[in-house]
Amino acid sequence: MTTAKPFKLLLVLAALALSACTVSSPENGGPSGASSASVTRARAERNQDDSVGRAVLGSLRQSDAAAFKGVSVLAWDGAILLAGAVAKPEHRRRAEQLAKAVDGVRTVHNDLVLDENPAAAAFVPDIAREQRIYAGLLGEAKVSGAYVVRMVDGVATLLGSARSADDVAAAMDFARDADGVKWVVNHVAVK
């Protein structure tokens, strides 16, 4: 029984690795547009997300590295998630203003909390749990949307795209059941 979980996780991770090697697009015979059952994004779009996210984080650090040291940034299709903590309300407002000013940003989800010690370990993204939730979502039959996950202080935030509210609900249920998750925040666009 104890060997089943590592084996199942290994299978999910292998499926993740294989799915990362293929991109569904009209050029390679994959589905496209609204007829697609799942939501996929081209590598160039994901690279653009990374670039915009780095630009937002750079803008925050350039403005006030000490004030924004507890802030992490996640980007998806023009939407920015600000997660973590800041010490003062004006830092929270300023972070949102700076993010909105970056080229390519359409929406900012400001999930920053106030804390006396914003650089505390509790506000550092839990990458291991993020990856487990992400890999699990890829292997979940009820979930066909495309998601990214940010896990900070027990809060799993989903950002991405889905074809239906039911898909988002299934993804949220899956994330909610993951080990260490206190609650799930939904910032998913239904298209």
Residue 33 in domain? no
Whether residues 114 and 76 fall in one domain? yes
Nearest of 113, 75, 108, 73 to residue 91 by alpha carbon: 113
pLDDT (tens digit, 9 = 90+) per residue, 66-95? 999 999 999 999 999 999 999 999 999 999
The percent helix, strand, coil of the chain (3-state, each to 5) is 45, 25, 30
Pick from 121, 147, 171: which residue ends a domain? Answer: 121
CATH code of 77's domain: 3.30.1340
Does residue 116 share a domain with residue 154? no
* pLDDT, position 41: 80
Which parts of the chain fold into alpha helices (H)? 4-21, 43-64, 89-100, 127-139, 165-176
Averaged pLDDT for residues 186-190: 97
Last residue of a domain, one of 121, 151, 181: 121
Are 52 and 102 contacting, i.e. CB atoms less than 8 angstroms apart? Answer: yes
Domain count of the fold of the chain = 2
Rounded to 5°, the CA angle 5-10-14 comes to 150
Residue 73, in any domain of the structure: yes
Residue 80: beta bridge partners? 75, 108
Whether 55 and 99 have beta carbons less than 8 Å apart is answered as no
Q: Is residue 18 part of a domain?
A: no
Does residue 4 belong to any structural domain of this protein? no
Coil, strand or helix at 107: strand
Q: What is the mean pLDDT of residues 164-179?
A: 97
The predicted structure's pLDDT at residue 39: 65
Q: Are residues 85 and 137 in the same domain?
A: no
Radius of gyration (C-alpha) of the chain in whole angstroms = 17
Distance CA 169, CA 128 (A): 23
Pair 140, 179 in one domain? yes
Query: In terms of domains, do 110 and 73 share one?
Result: yes
Instruction: Give the model confidence (pLDDT) of 6-55 as tens digits.
Output: 545 444 444 444 333 333 223 333 333 333 344 678 889 999 999 999 99
Residue that wins the pLDDT comparison between 1 and 127: 127
Is the pLDDT score of 145 beyond 50?
Answer: yes
Whether 135 and 179 map to the same domain: the answer is yes
Within a domain: 166:
yes
Residues 148 and 91 in one domain: no
Q: What is residue 157's three-state secondary structure?
A: strand
Contacts with 13 (C-beta within 8 Å, 6 or more apart), sequence order: 135
> Among the three residues 71, 86, 121, which one is the final residue of a domain in this structure?
121
Checking if the pLDDT of 188 tops 60, the result is yes
Domain of residue 104, residue span:
43-121
- Token pair for 109: 């989800």
The answer to whether position 131 is within a domain reads yes
- What is the reported pLDDT for 13? 44
Say if residue 116 is in the same domain as residue 150. Answer: no
Q: Are residues 113 and 174 in the same domain?
A: no
- The answer as to whether 159 is a domain residue is yes
Q: For residue 24, tell me if it sits in a domain.
A: no
Residue 138 has pLDDT above 50, yes or no: yes
Under 8 Å between Cβ of 114 and 86: yes
Q: What is the pLDDT of residues 89-136, one digit of tens each?
A: 999 999 999 999 999 999 999 999 999 999 999 999 999 999 999 999
